[in-house]
Amino acid sequence: MTIPQIVERAEALGIDRFIITDHYENVSDSGLRRFFIPDPEEHLAQLRAYGLPTGLEFGWDTETPIRYPVEAYDFVLLSFHNLKRSGFRGAIDYDAYLEDVWNGVNLFRHFTVLAHLDLPRRYVEGNPPFSQQHYPHFERIFKKLIEDGKGIELNCSTIRQYGQPNPARDLLELYFNCGGKVITLGSDAHKIDDIGKDLLKGRAILEEIGFRYLTVFEDGEYTFRPL
Ligand SMILES: [Zn+2]
């Protein structure tokens, strides 16, 4: 997908505020090198040339030294896909994953929202949910985010995969009940047809839970826009 194609599609769908977040994976695992932005300056310049906020999905393993200029971006989705301790694909240890996320958000500060928080669910057969036993882990992460003025993403792509967003509805409720307000909606589109997909379903879930605002980036700053 090219930037003009994305812009055209988003406009056709009536999405007037959006941020393109190409994925840079900051890990030592060379198998993930395909998620690599070779020239950050060029990447930033391209987005600016279209008058778009500069966005990035920044994946990290909590260990690999960070040399990418993450702080140059307006909006950073922090994600954890590749964690040695919790494993990836097949058998994923949810507790170890959450421990890794906790370490990650304490070690790294240049992000806006945490991406697809219960991501491992996507990769385990049958997509088993995180349970109430994991709530203390989530609460600790949510309180840290809120304290730091950061938030989470409601990622809609798993609505099409297994009927629940990332994170699932009960976890969004937990975030809300912790006092979480900063929230963004993402379609995680990797092809034109998926741009904006299920955003309205995601918005409806937020409204049902009690959220009143979405966080959007406007005129160089974050602002809350009524849902
Ligand atoms: Zn991701």
Q: What is the pTM of this model?
A: 0.93
Among the four given CATH numbers 3.30.429.10, 2.60.40.10, 3.20.20.140, 3.50.50.60, the one describing domain 3-226 = 3.20.20.140
| Tokens encoding 128 | 């088993």
Handedness of CA 121, 32, 23, 73 (dihedral sign): positive
Q: Which is more confident, 115 or 87? A: 115
pLDDT of 31: 66
pLDDT in the model for residue 218:
85
Please check whether residue 160 is in contact with residue 189, taking contact to mean a CB–CB distance below 8 angstroms: no
What per-residue confidence (pLDDT) applies to 119?
93
**Do 98 and 62 meet the contact criterion of CB atoms below 8 Å apart?**
no
Q: What does the pLDDT read at residue 34? A: 66
Ligand 1 centroid to 132 CA: how many Å? Answer: 24
User: Range with the lowest mean pLDDT among 61-65, 73-77, 194-198?
Assistant: 61-65
- In this prediction, residue 28 carries a pLDDT of 79
At residue 32, the pLDDT reads: 65
Give domain limits for the chain.
3-226
Lowest mean pLDDT among 29-33, 80-84, 102-106: 29-33
Percent of the chain with pLDDT over 70: 94
CA of 219 to the centre of ligand 1 (A): 26
For the cut 90, the answer to whether the pLDDT of residue 125 exceeds it is no
**For residue range 134-160, what is the model confidence (pLDDT) as tens digits?**
999 999 999 999 999 999 999 999 999
Q: How many angstroms does the Cα of residue 127 sit away from the middle of ligand 1? A: 17
Tokens of 104: 């990650």
Is residue 58 predicted with pLDDT exceeding 70?
Answer: yes
Segment 107-116 mean pLDDT:
96
> Which of 138, 123, 215 has the alpha carbon at shortest distance from 170?
138
Rounded to the nearest whole angstrom, what is the distance from the C-alpha of residue 24 to the centroid of ligand 1? 9
Calculate how far, in angstroms, residue 25's C-alpha sits from the geometric centre of ligand 1.
9
What single DSSP character describes residue 82? Answer: -
pLDDT for 173 equals 98
Cα 179 to averaged position of ligand 1 atoms, centre (Å): 25
**Would the pLDDT of 30 be above 70?**
no
Run of H or E including 57 = strand 55-60
Percent of the chain, pLDDT > 90? 82
Higher pLDDT, 55 or 31: 55
From the CA of 76, how far away is ligand 1's center (Å)? 12
Average per-residue pLDDT for the chain: 92
Give all strands (DSSP E) within 80-120, no chain letters. 113-114
User: Has residue 88 got a pLDDT over 70?
Assistant: no
Which range has the worst mean pLDDT, 41-50, 59-68, 102-111?
59-68
